[in-house]
Amino acid sequence: QHCMAALECTARELSNEPRLTLGQIINRHAGDLGIPRPLDGALESAWGYASEVGRDLREGREPTSDETELLLGLCATVIRYLLQRNR
């Protein structure tokens, strides 16, 4: 969940939309930020996954280290891409 929040904060800074959610930014600014389709939808799905597994933990459901590393790697790569693309 925290790595997705870092991605959201990066998107907020780059889009100059400090109050929007990641989903709203993707819907309004994906093209401007350089997020191509269908990657935009994949990022929204990743947010939903992180929210369900990482924040709104269901009883008896904890993310595995593999799942955590997957999201961390995804977010780190997308953040780096966005920063390089929007210098």
Q: What is the pLDDT of residues 67-85, one digit of tens each?
A: 889 999 999 999 999 999 9
**Cα-atom radius of gyration of the chain, to the nearest Å?**
13
The first and second tokens of residue 25, run together, are 């930014």
Q: Which residues lie below 8 Å from residue 41, measured CB to CB, with a gap of 6+?
A: none
Q: How many CB atoms lie under 10 A from the CB of residue 70?
A: 14
User: If pLDDT is split at 50, 70 and 90, which confidence band does 57 have?
Assistant: low
pLDDT surpassing 90 at residue 49 = no
Burial of 81 (0-12, 13-18, 19+ CB in 10 A): middle
Mean pLDDT for 1-20 is: 95
